């Protein structure tokens, strides 16, 4: 029995099983045609700036490729190609700004990187042309994030364990509701809460641990939600096998569920830490800022990397080419980005080491 096939259209590839298909170079040809049309429209309509031209080229690419696909492949395959194109476009729309931001921060901040920049504070730096570095701010950020993690991560993980393993009924629904509410709380609200309750209520002055407490409030819902999802990924069969052997539930959670989900819990903890590492609004109210090194987070103002960026950008003059305030701000921002990157890479390595061994 023979299969009847229609003659192939020009510029297409025909298969007896799937019908006509666009050639492999079709997306590239559509991209070239879209860019040419966009440049032509820019010339004819006298557009200013290249942003409009780029957006027009992207829209024309989708239109050209979809129309070509409808003519050659039919409506069904054209819909699939259109959806695939939108997925790739969404990926590019997300990744391109991220790459541009990181590249810009890297170019602007790397110019001040040196051993002296990481080993000196801003204490005694009175002129914009003097040195100074991020040592005091780096110490403050590490201490405050560490204190916040010590407070928030156990609460978040234990709450997630309760919701996944034990949570039933009204109380569990109430906990879930308040976790969802806390996820959308603006950071300044957490800062105002701690400021009103702790600083005004007890007549205290700003200090580093107060900022850490606000960061912990912001970290808890992220930790709960992420840890909850990691615990739900543990196969139910592992729990049932443990129960069948007569192992109590608490021991099953401790010896089976947590080791299996450990790599995911480490990742979720680092996501929560990365969420608060760059917060600035609560710290303005609660930690103050000092140019000197303060190793005691429970007494006196303490600098952080976000606060140093805010401080330096507020002091820039822009009148001389030797003004280092803006450069130091970019350097502090790049240091913060690298710190979060190091934490994430470290979390990946720990997660790989903590992954259960399989035969």
Q: What is the pLDDT of residues 47-71, one digit of tens each?
A: 777 778 888 888 888 888 888 888 8
Pick the closest to residue 143 from 302, 309, 330 (CA basis): 302
User: Which residues in the chain belong to E strands, given as ranges?
Assistant: 13-15, 19-21
Say how many C-beta atoms besides its own lie within 10 A of residue 346's C-beta: 12
CA 295 to chain centre: 29
- Answer yes or no: are the C-beta atoms of 331 and 312 closer than 8 Å: no
145 closest CA partner among 267, 297, 289, 276: 276
Full-model pTM: 0.77
pLDDT value of position 4:
46
Q: Which helix (H) or strand (E) holds 114?
A: none
Instruction: Give the chain's residues under pLDDT 70.
Output: 1-19, 126-130, 316-323, 354-359
Residue 6: what pLDDT?
A: 46
**HSE (CB half, 13 Å, CA atoms) of 127?**
5
Distance in angstroms (rounded) separating the CA atoms of residues 127 and 250: 61
CB 208 within 8 A of CB 298: yes
Q: What confidence score (pLDDT) does residue 227 get?
A: 92
**Res 77: pLDDT:** 84
Q: At 20, give phi and psi (nearest 5°).
A: -70, 145
pLDDT of amino acid 3:
44
**What phi and psi, each to the nearest 5 degrees, are found at residue 239?**
-65, -45
- Residue given tokens 């970290």 in the structure block: 219
Tell me the domain boundaries of the chain.
Answer: 13-110, 117-354
Residue 78's closest CA among 16, 7, 21? 21
Architecture of the domain whose range is 117-354: Orthogonal Bundle (1.10)
The Cα 53–Cα 79 span in angstroms is 26
CA 172 to chain CA mean position, Å: 29
CA angle 85, 87, 90 (to 5 degrees): 110
The token pair that represents 106 in the structure block: 């890297």
């Amino acid at each position: 029995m023979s299969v009847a096939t229609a003659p192939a259209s020009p510029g297409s590839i025909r298969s007896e099983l799937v019908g006509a298909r666009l050639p492999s170079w079709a997306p590239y040809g559509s991209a070239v045609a879209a860019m040419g049309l966009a440049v032509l429209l820019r010339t004819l309509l006298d557009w200013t700036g290249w942003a409009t031209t780029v957006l027009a080229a992207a829209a024309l690419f989708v239109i050209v490729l979809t129309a070509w696909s409808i003519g050659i492949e039919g409506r069904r395959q054209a819909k699939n190609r259109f959806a695939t194109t939108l997925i790739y476009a969404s990926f590019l729309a997300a990744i391109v700004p991220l790459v541009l931001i990181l590249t810009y921060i890297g170019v602007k901040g790397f110019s001040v990187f040196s051993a002296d920049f990481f080993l000196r504070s801003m204490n005694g730096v009175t002129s914009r042309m003097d040195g100074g570095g991020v040592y005091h701010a780096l110490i403050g950020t590490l201490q405050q994030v560490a204190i916040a993690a010590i407070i928030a991560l156990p609460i978040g993980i234990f709450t997630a364990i309760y919701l996944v393993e034990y949570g039933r009924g009204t109380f569990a629904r109430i906990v879930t509701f308040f976790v969802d509410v806390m996820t959308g709380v603006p950071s300044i609200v957490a800062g105002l809460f701690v400021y009103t309750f702790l600083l005004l209520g007890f007549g205290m002055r700003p200090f580093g641990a107060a900022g850490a407490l606000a960061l912990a409030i912001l970290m808890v819902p992220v930790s709960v939600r992420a840890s909850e999802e990691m615990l739900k990924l543990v196969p139910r069969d592992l729990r049932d096998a443990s129960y069948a052997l007569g192992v109590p539930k608490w021991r099953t959670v401790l010896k089976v569920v947590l080791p299996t989900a450990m790599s995911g819990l480490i990742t979720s903890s680092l996501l929560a830490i990365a969420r608060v590492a760059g917060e600035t609004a609560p710290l303005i109210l609660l930690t103050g800022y000092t140019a000197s090194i303060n190793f005691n987070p429970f007494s006196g103002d303490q600098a952080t990397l976000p606060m140093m960026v805010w401080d330096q950008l507020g002091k820039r003059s822009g009148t001389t080419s030797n003004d280092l305030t803006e450069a130091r701000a970019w350097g502090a921002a790049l240091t913060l980005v690298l710190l979060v990157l190091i934490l994430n890479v470290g979390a990946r390595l720990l997660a790989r080491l903590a992954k259960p061994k399989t035969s």
